[in-house]
Structure 1
Amino acid sequence: MSVTKPSLKLTHAAALKALAEAVAYAESIGVPQNITIVDDGGNLLAFIRMDGAKLLSRETSMSKAITAASHRQPTSRLDPALELKLAIAGGGRLTNLEGGLPIIFDGICVGGVGVGSGTGLQDIEVARAALAAIGAEDQQP
């Protein structure tokens, strides 16, 4: 029986590259955003609050990133019947708001990106730019 297993880890360099591309995309559409990138354990790797981004969206961007990493799926796909229970059980860190995407390589989730301050669609577009910058799989339809 093995007591360890190899695993993929998101590097800080990849997190910064993803963050930079997300910022560039947000600037190109004229929507200042809060952008959070976490590892597979929900630990903060990179964050920015762009000039003009909504203050409280800082919290939602973090919750979106953690939720996407934790559930290994885009936010907004949680069962609505469980939404409130999961938020309470997760200490308020889980959300079903659009704008969180898991960061997946070779079918393995290595983290999450969460974006908040625009519309749900704008948040998703910015998160997708982050994934594309590092060649991560995109699970959005």
Structure 2
Amino acid sequence: MKYTKETLVLTHSGAIEALSAAVKAAEELSVPQCIFIVDCSGETIASIRMDGAKYLSMHTARAKARTAASINAPTGSMAFEFGTSAGVASQGGVTPLPGGLPIRFGGKLAGAIGVGSGTGEQDFAVGRAALVAIGADAV
């Protein structure tokens, strides 16, 4: 039909599985992380602040997940000026920081993950481990 489209929804079971894999990867790196998993609209499905993770990283991890869901792409590559403006306009809901990844199955967006409290590369590594655990498309 021309007035509808088929969408995918990440289940809470999938979010918990991804979250568990992300925590395990963070523990292997010895970097406590804040991790958010959101649906396509950016609403939180699951989250955790690991013992020792930075408090303010809760805010950035959620913004990373919401940004990745919104742009359907990894975070960290938008121009600084645009990212800063988008962050102000969205009251911190969007960020140019690295560590957010879309969660896609067969190319269709089902949600996103945002990781914060490590370096950008550590955050991405933890996020990618979550994607692998649930069989999502590699990013």
User: Structure 2 length as normaliser, TM-score?
Assistant: 0.95
Unaligned segments of structure 1, at least 5 residues? none
Whole-Å separation in 2 of the counterparts to 1:72 and 1:49: 24
Whole-Å separation in 2 of the counterparts to 1:78 and 1:137: 22
2:37 is matched with 37
Measured after TM superposition, the shift of residue 108 of structure 1 is 1.2
1:87 is matched with 87
Q: Please, which moves more after superposition, 76-85 or 9-18? A: 76-85
Q: CA RMSD of the aligned region, Å?
A: 1.1
Query: 3-state SS of the aligned residue for 1:82?
Result: helix
Equivalent runs, 1:10-49 vs 2, <5 Å: 10-49=10-49
Query: 3-state SS of the aligned residue for 2:109?
Result: strand
Whole-Å separation in 2 of the counterparts to 1:127 and 1:42: 16
User: Structure 1 length as normaliser, TM-score?
Assistant: 0.94
Equivalent runs, 1:1-141 vs 2, <5 Å: 2-139=2-139
Percentage identity across aligned positions?
A: 51
Query: 3-state SS of the aligned residue for 1:36?
Result: strand
* Count of aligned residue pairs for this structure pair: 139
Q: Please, which moves more after superposition, 77-86 or 25-34? A: 77-86
Deviations 1:8-58 (A, max 9, x none): 111110000000000011111111100000000001000000011111101
Contact 2:34 / 2:54 at 8 angstroms: preserved in 1? yes
Deviating beyond 4 angstroms after TM superposition, the runs of 4 or more aligned structure 1 residues are none
Query: 3-state SS of the aligned residue for 1:47?
Result: strand
Measured after TM superposition, the shift of residue 80 of structure 1 is 2.8
Whole-Å separation in 1 of the counterparts to 2:53 and 2:15: 20
Query: 3-state SS of the aligned residue for 1:110?
Result: strand
Measured after TM superposition, the shift of residue 110 of structure 1 is 1.1
Unaligned segments of structure 2, at least 5 residues? none
